[in-house]
Amino acid sequence: EIVMTQSPATLSVSPGERATLSCRASQSVRSNLAWYQQKPGQAPRLLIYDATTRATGIPARFSGFGSGTEFTLAISSLQSEDFAVYYCQQYYNWWTFGPGTKVDLK
Amino acid sequence: QVHLVESGGGVVQPGGSLRLTCAASGFTFSSYDVHWVRQAPGKGLEWVAVIWYDGSNQYYENSVKGRFTISRDNSGNTLYLQMNTLRAEDTAVYYCARGRECSGGTCYSAAYFQDWGQGTLVSISS
């Protein structure tokens, strides 16, 4: 099983600041990596797939980087609606999620 | 517009059974793999099961193998999850999610989860 880890567990950010979230896979997943956003009481929403491609309707302030085992989600200028939990997921070998990074208000 | 609506959750005693349903609309259901994903209270996401677009293959997470059965009715645009021998650790919100687009043995997108339902809560308690 491919194990996904995410850091930090919690990221405290002020509105307008840049946020950088990290995700690491226990073995290479090539570019088979997605990012999801989940707000309290809501279902996850696809943000990024194939490591770098924004899903339909996702604002340009969200960017994905990386391949192999190291990945990054960057939010260029955090908006109030971006405070949420972010999960990475590999789909190279079955499907596994990271434990999530909570982005909260500094 | 894609809609996935789960139903069938509830409170069940350990060892009991439950059948979840996911009603799909807004896309060609028979052209997509569909998944069940769960989230225990206050925890992260865990993939549970997948069924191929044509129903030809089903795969399960190890802890549910032999207890859960995923199935689909392409004529009725509906996904199911039959859950038997339920345990306390199965307590979670269960989501259905749309996966790869496939047709005639060829898949046209990667296996990420494009759309999700709102979830249905399953609680196992005596």
pLDDT in tens, A62-104: 999 999 999 999 999 999 999 999 999 999 999 999 999 999 9
Per the prediction, chain B carries an average pLDDT of: 96
Mean pLDDT of B75-92: 98
Contacts of B95 in chain A (CB under 8 A): 43-44
Contacts of A50 in chain B (CB under 8 A): 110, 112
Cβ of B110 within 8 Å of Cβ of A55? The answer is no
Residue of chain B nearest A56, judged by CA positions? B114
- Round to whole Å and give the CA distance between A51 and A89: 10
Mean pLDDT of B72-84: 98
Contacts of B118 in chain A (CB under 8 A): 42-43
Contacts of B112 in chain A (CB under 8 A): 34, 46, 49-50, 89, 91
Instruction: Please tell me the distance in Å from B87's CA to the nearest CA on chain A.
Output: 22
Mean pLDDT of B7-31: 97
Residue-wise pLDDT tens digits, A20-76: 999 999 999 999 999 999 999 999 999 999 999 999 999 999 999 999 999 999 999
Could you say which of B35, B44, B110 has the minimum Cβ distance to residue A87? B44
Residue B105 has pLDDT above 90, yes or no: no
Question: pLDDT-based confidence at B109, cuts 50/70/90?
Answer: confident
Residue-level length of chain B: 126
